[in-house]
Every structure is written in structure tokens, then in C-alpha cells.
Amino acid sequence: MNEFELIHTYLSRHADKLDDECLLGVGDDAAILRPNADADIHISSDMLVGGRHFFTDVRPEDLAHKILAVNLSDMAAMGATPRWALLSAGLPQLDKTWLDAFCNAFFTLADAHQVRLIGGDTTRADWVFNLTIIGQTPRGRALRRDAAQVGDDIWVSGRLGLAAAALDDQWLKVRLPETTFTTCEAQRLRPQARVRLGEALRDIAHAAQDISDGLLQDLNHILHASSCAADIWLEHIPSLPDLQEFAEYHQWILAGGDDYELLFTAPPEQREAVLQAAQASQTPISRIGIVRKGTACRVLTADGSEYLETHQGFDHFA
């Protein structure tokens, strides 16, 4: 198979899906967009490198899902509606069975979110993917990191630490019971981007961010950008109860990577609206702390004392 065949057979499924906002997709030297003039455009890229972000023997359908899901999660964190994507792939070889599985999963998730693949690039390389996603919000209504205010509640979607626990099992650092591992591994391989929740929070939340490098590290991005501090209640952080017996539990929920849950702040007056947004988007959420004056983030245990063994999250260059 050559590159032309690859593009024509596998990557052109959305080439004919054109409309007033997307005038040209895969097939020319560039795609043409003509977005609504009242929209703000959100653009973001995320790269996944084999051996670093995924095991190169990962199932193609899981890999395709993850590449798109982590980028959808960035749109969710902005309160944006994802619309278009460009996929660049460096593959060591072109294998039809592999490409079929990869593309079926990719387009299944894309179609579920009405995201169109409008371009990309393909080259021979040792497993590297970059996806650029383009989304939109109504003008001026993005959820930004710098908008948290003192007194805000801090909320998180879903359950934290499962992906990190699965990864530690993969690395043989712990041995999870089989059903626990299955649940955690499913979360690690197939994160659910919280796009509907992000959209529903547009006029309700102040600041938002998705958790990819661990709760504390990502919360610190919001606090730093918003010049405030926070108290987090350790016992309120949602996770899988079966994980609590492990010595690594606190590290998993505070600093584990790959959760792709939504972390956001909202004023206490909006509690009811926040809960309604969660219900409307069928997303479980938990209130885990408050934003306060100051510069640091404190993690508090049930008796109000400070939990000090805080690991700060994943840093690729650490």
C-alpha cells in the first residue's frame, strides 16, 4: 500500500461531509474552514509517542480512541465544542488489519462527537501521533484557567487514580485484583472526554482544566493562573474504593496521570446549577475543596490536619 491509497482508502471518510463551515476537507493541499463569525475558535494539539505515552503493542482501536479522546478532553476543559481534527501519524509500516481497526475506532469516536477529520500528514517513523483539534465556543464564553475566584468550590468529574493504578500494575509495581485491574485498565485505555459537561458548564463554572498529569499538578495550573490557593479534602476525592488498601492510593489520586477528568471551580451560589449540568450531561461529579487566598494548595485529611506527602504529578522532563 502506498501513501495515496492510505489517504484514499482509510483517511477520507469525512472528505465529502462538507457544509457552510467546512468548505474543503481531506484531499487538497489544505482544508478550508469558514467558521461562524460569532464563535471563538479553540485550537489545541496533543502528541502521543510510542514507548512513552503508549505501549507499541497496544490494540490499534484503543490507541485511536486515546489519541482523539485526549484532544477532546482539551476541548472539554475549555467548554468548547470540538468540530474538526487533523491527524499526523508516523508509522513504521502500513498494515491493513491494523489500519482497519485503527480507523474504525477513530471514526466511531469522531462521529459520536460530530468531529470531522479534515487533514493531517503521514510519514514513516517509529510510532508517533499528533492530533490537532479545532473547536468553538460562543464568543467570550470559554472556560479558562485564569478565572478561578476566592470562595469558589472545586469540583472534579468521574474517578481519579484508576489509570495510574493500572499502569503500576502493568509495570509490576503492584498486583491489583483481576476485576479491579480490568476496571482501571479500561479507564487508562479508553478515557471518556467530558465534552458535554464542559459545554454545560459554560455559563456556570469559572475556571476549568482537564486532569492529565495528576490532580495537584493540574490544580496548581489553575491556582497559579488565577493567583489564588486551595484546600483539597483528601477523603472527598472520588476513586475506586478497592484501591484504598494500597500504599500507593494517595499518590494515584493526587498525582496519577492520564485521568482525563474535568477539574473546575464555580461559585457556591451555582451549586445547584453545577449539579444540574452534571445530570444533564450524565457525568458524575464531586465537590473536593475550595479556592482561598494565598499561594499554595493544601491537602487536608478528615480531621482537618494537613496531608504532607504530596507528590506533584507527572513532569516529562523531571
φ and ψ of 207, to 5 deg? -115, 155
What minimum distance in Å lies between the beta carbon of 27 and ligand ADP? 5
63 is a site residue for ligand ADP (CB under 6 A): no
What minimum distance in Å lies between the beta carbon of 12 and ligand ADP? 8
Distance CA 124, CA 150 (A): 50
Judged by CB, which is closer to Mg ion: 130, or 183? 130
121 is a site residue for Mg ion (CB under 5 A): yes
Judged by CB, which is closer to ligand ADP: 114, or 182? 114
Residue 27 binding: pick among Mg ion, ligand ADP, none (C-beta 5-8 Å cut-off by kind): ligand ADP
Residue 312 binding: pick among ligand ADP, Mg ion, none (C-beta 5-8 Å cut-off by kind): none
Task: Choose among 223, 40, 211, 65: nearest CA to 134.
Answer: 40
φ and ψ of 279, to 5 deg? -70, -45
Site map for ligand ADP, 69-108, x if CB under 6 A?
------------------xxx-------------------
Whether the CB-CB separation of 120 and 68 falls below 8 Å is answered with no
119 is a site residue for ligand ADP (CB under 6 A): yes
26 is a site residue for ligand ADP (CB under 6 A): yes
Which residue of 64, 110, 115, 117 would you call a contact of ligand ADP, by CB under 6 A? 117
Residue 103 binding: pick among ligand ADP, Mg ion, none (C-beta 5-8 Å cut-off by kind): none
Residue 205 binding: pick among ligand ADP, Mg ion, none (C-beta 5-8 Å cut-off by kind): none
Torsion of CA 146, 148, 149, 150, to 10 degrees: -110
From 24-32, 35-43, 167-175, 190-198, give the range in contact with ligand ADP by CB under 6 A.
Answer: 24-32
Judged by CB, which is closer to ligand ADP: 7, or 128? 7
3 is a site residue for Mg ion (CB under 5 A): no
List interacting residues with Mg ion (CB under 5 A).
Answer: 121
Contacting residues toward ligand ADP, per CB under 6 A: 7, 11, 26-29, 87-89, 117, 119-122
